[in-house]
Amino acid sequence: MLRAHRLFAALFVATVSLAGTDAARAQDATAFAALERAQPQLVEWRRDLHQHPELGEQETRTAKRVADHLRSLGLTVRTGVGKTGVVAVLKGAKPGPRVALRADMDALPVTEQTHLPFASKVKAEYRGQPVGVMHACGHDAHVAILMGVAQALVAAKNELAGEVMFVFQPAEEGPPVAGAVFGAALMLQDGVFKDFTPDAVFGLHVWAGLPVGSVGYRSGPLLAAADEWSLVVKGKQTHGSRPWDGVDPITLGAQILLGTQSMIARQVNIATSPVVLTAGQFQAGVRFNIIPDEATLVGTLRTFDPTVREDVIARFRRIADDYAHASGGSAELKVANNAPATINQPALTQRVRPSLEKAVGAANVVEMPLVTVAEDFSQFANTVPGFYFFVGSTSKGIDPATAPINHSPQFLLDEQALQTGSQAMLQVALDYLRSP
């Protein structure tokens, strides 16, 4: 009798398992068929967005395009989240996990040099300067991908267990004004996860450093924390022919900057935790033969470890103060954190990798090294468990190592990345909703 009960239990488990497998296959078939039908739309959406890029917190046209599409799918849409963000929630037929899928919408102050028929000719003002505007980082592709994934999941909603939040985020590239709360942090401040707290959040990024058709991931730290620093160096104005009568803030600023590079090379263990400190602006003076009384340096600091970050900032302050004191001037350092490091939780990574392999093939799933760019997706991933991955965007036959990188005015996206990215994100979402 006991053997009969055990046999019945085993048969019951096998039957339920097979039924679950059949249901999963049917669900995937419905969703992926809808995604395949949507591929021409993804290309059209991406090209339209590429031709009409908008800077951070100015994405009104983009947000309207997204919101109109989500409403056409029957979803209830929230707009104005984090200023110009768009959010919608899809409820499946049965209760289950909650997942958030995120895409960033903003473009960059870059003048496009691709000569594409749909190249951007948009001009705008950025921090008081006239600039060209370009989707030089591929956010047009991210928006198109998530619009397509939303369409596919809606097609399969009667077979879904759980809920999906679609998050279209503004201003990933930073705020219009340095030091302001922006992007993901501002959406969180506006309560994006208040009424809908996801069990996990997923994001992706097209990447010129990988060939099209591939995806890249890493368990643990993947992307660096980004700080925007500014250093105001004050000296004493004098004639350029008599520097000894004043205090030269240009020389002092240069000495401080070089001191930071020596500090990183000699006082920080970059073998275990890479650090990059770069100056992108050095402004001083108005005339060739006058040593000014002030110079301003602005740059970025990239780190992967919070303790190392604090140590480097403290050393930076000490270097600035010591050089300034020795020269008879002064230096004030301000540091604004734009994004913490993006860290893929190991347990979630282990859970998601099979989905990536299912979507694009195991041979096309690449383990990434540490990447010193930053992403404020980390704000979401510090709130709930998160996973972030790259989608190759460089055409086959072109060496990704020599292709124009993201943020380049020549950045070119192979549109097959739209299919790869949407398939990977869709599979990740479907599998997560099915898992316990």
Give me the DSSP letters along 142-161: HHHHHHHHHHHHHHTGGG-E
Per-residue pLDDT tens over the stretch 379-400: 999 999 999 999 999 999 999 9
Residues 6+ apart with CB under 8 A from 172: 56, 104, 105, 106, 139, 183, 184, 375, 376, 377
Closest-CA residue to 82 (of 176, 192, 173):
192
C-alpha to C-alpha distances, 194 to 147, 188, 189, 383, 384, nearest whole angstrom: 23, 8, 9, 11, 12
CA distance 351 to 149: 20
Q: 229-339 in CATH: which number?
A: 3.30.70.360
How is residue 312 written in tokens? 């480097």
Tokens encoding 373: 């760019």
**Does residue 106 carry a catalytic annotation?**
yes
> 355-384, pLDDT tens digit by residue?
999 999 999 999 999 999 999 999 999 999
Determine which helix (DSSP H) or strand (DSSP E) holds 192, and give its type and residue range: none
What's the rounded Cα separation, in Å, for the pair 60 and 319?
44
**pLDDT (tens digit, 0 to 9) for every residue of the chain, 436 residues total?**
545 555 444 444 444 444 557 778 888 999 999 999 999 999 999 999 999 999 999 999 999 999 999 999 999 999 999 999 999 999 999 999 999 999 999 999 999 999 999 999 999 999 899 999 999 999 999 999 999 999 999 999 999 999 999 999 999 999 888 779 999 999 999 999 999 999 999 999 999 999 999 999 999 999 999 999 999 999 999 999 999 999 999 999 999 999 999 999 999 999 999 999 999 999 999 999 999 999 999 999 999 999 999 999 999 999 999 999 999 999 999 999 999 999 999 999 999 999 999 999 999 999 999 999 999 999 999 999 999 999 999 999 999 999 999 999 999 999 999 999 999 999 999 999 998 6
| Sign of the torsion angle spanned by Cα atoms 99, 40, 207, 280 | negative
pTM tops 0.75: yes
Query: Under CATH, which architecture does the 2-224+350-434 domain have?
Result: 3-Layer(aba) Sandwich (3.40)
Q: What is the DSSP letter of 262?
A: H
Q: Is 199 among the residues known to form the active site?
A: no
Listed by start position, the domains of the chain span 2-224+350-434, 229-339
H or E segment at 342?
strand 342-344
395 close to 225: Cβ distance less than 8 angstroms: no
Contact partners, residue 165, CB within 8 Å, separation at least 6: 87, 88, 89, 90, 98, 99, 100, 101, 196, 198
The percentage of residues in the chain with a pLDDT greater than 70, rounded to a whole number, is 95
Selected catalytic residue, list 28, 54, 57, 106:
106
**Could you tell me if residue 421 is left (phi over 0), alpha (psi between -120 and 50 degrees) or otherwise beta?**
alpha
Q: Are strands 275-284 and 215-217 parallel, antiparallel or unpaired?
A: unpaired
Which H or E element spans position 215? Answer: strand 215-217
From the candidates 172, 248, 293, 431, which is the catalytic residue? 172
Judge residue 255's burial from the number of C-beta atoms within 10 Å of its C-beta, 0-12 exposed, 13-18 middle, 19 or more buried.
middle
Task: Determine phi and psi for 232, rounding to 5 degrees.
Answer: -105, 115
Q: Are 85 and 166 in contact (CB under 8 A)?
A: no
